[in-house]
Amino acid sequence: MNRRGVLGALVALSSALLLIGCVHAGARPGIAAATDTPAPISAMTFNIRLDLPSDGANAWPQRKELVFELIRREAPDLLGMQEVLLHQKRELEAALPDYAMIGAGRDDGREAGEFSPLAWRRDRFELVRSGTFWLSPTPETPGKAWDAALPRIATWAVLRDRKSGETLRVLNTHFDHVGAVAKANSARLIGEWVKAGPDAGLPAIVMGDFNSPTGSEPYRLLADTGATSLSDARNLSASAPYGPKGTFTGFRIDADAVEPIDHIFVSPRFQVTSHAVITQHWGGRLPSDHYPVLAELTLTRP
């Protein structure tokens, strides 16, 4: 995808977001005045693995309580998840009432197929607007693109921090697991969204399962080129990153993945206090085939 193609997709994306983004306007009770000391923001990305009966002992009914418990224990302010089917989303919403959650099924933009939902603590953030777009040259239209095996989406929100009064953008996504061209073009599209999409002047957090290790072309397009102004939170952490570097386990606690494919990227105003790959297990039982990634961030004053 050349730059003209990317920009064409971005124009379509911007128009689509203006049409489909949910807008919450009016009075904003509970929004605190800006404070001199910004409160930390914890952000987690977590591929929870879709519900597949063929997973046997690792199928969703046997491990969903572990997923719920891990999220409750870590209590992130922001939570991006991947591979979430509709019934899983409903169970997550019921189990985690302190969180508001948005998302759309990737197959039809409503309820069919996997979601990449975005959630936040109700007592911390207020929704301003949100939407979902497809990682394709026609981002407003459901479908797959380039050499992707499956349709791929990004779900985003503009949120207002109830503690600081600051407004920020958060995007959660899941790149294709097969198509090299699709992954690179998805990174370009999200990079253009960060730079020139709606609310482009706001600080941004971009997280998800990118199916792309450090050093790969999609990773470099997001974090290493300087074009997006994004950085990998792991590389910015003031303390030594906690846990293994690899994030895919295949449900094995002895997995030897050496490179992460799940990442949290942040724009320049964010400072990163800590970064962790969460390896929590219960007697050798893992809640998913990916470790969640958690970063503690501080949004500095402009």
Write out pLDDT tens, residues 118-133.
999 999 999 999 999 9
The per-residue pLDDT for range 263-277, each reduced to its tens digit, is 999 999 999 999 999
Question: What are the strands of the beta sheet with 153-161, ordered from one edge?
Answer: 22-23, 125-134, 153-161, 167-174, 204-209, 262-266, 231-232
- At 282, list the tokens: 């219960």
Residue 143 has φ and ψ, to the nearest 5°, of: 150, 165
pLDDT digits (tens, 9 = 90+) for 137-163: 999 999 999 999 999 999 999 999 999
Q: How far is CA 30 from CA 33, 112, 114, 130, 261, in A?
A: 10, 35, 33, 20, 37
Q: Which amino acid is located at 289 in the chain?
A: D
Which pLDDT belongs to residue 255? 86
Contact of 73 with 108, CB cutoff 8 Å: no
Check residue 256 and give its pLDDT: 80
Residue recorded with tokens 């459901």: 142
pTM: 0.90
On whether the CB atoms of residues 137 and 1 are closer than 8 A, the answer is yes
Q: What is the mean pLDDT of the chain?
A: 91
The alpha carbon of residue 284 and the mean position of all alpha carbons in its chain are separated, in whole angstroms, by 27
Q: Are 160 and 33 in contact (CB under 8 A)?
A: no
Q: Which amino acid is at 55?
A: D
Is the pLDDT higher at 199 or at 1?
199
Q: Is the confidence at residue 29, as pLDDT, over 50? A: no
**Which of 179 and 227 is assigned the larger pLDDT?**
179
Alpha helix ranges (H) inside the chain: 3-20, 60-74, 86-95, 180-196, 217-223, 233-236
Tokens of 186: 């998805």
Domain ranges of the chain: 3-22+38-299
Q: Which residues are bridge partners to 298 per DSSP? A: 271
Q: What is the dihedral of CA 186, 111, 103, 61, to 10 degrees?
A: -100
Q: What is the pLDDT of residue 25?
A: 36
What pairing do the DSSP bridges indicate for beta strands 167-174 and 204-209?
A: parallel
CA distance 302 to 185: 31
The architecture CATH gives domain 3-22+38-299 = 4-Layer Sandwich (3.60)
Question: DSSP secondary structure string, 116-149?
Answer: --EEEETTTEEEEEEEEEESSSSTTS-S--TT-S
pLDDT at 81 over 90: yes
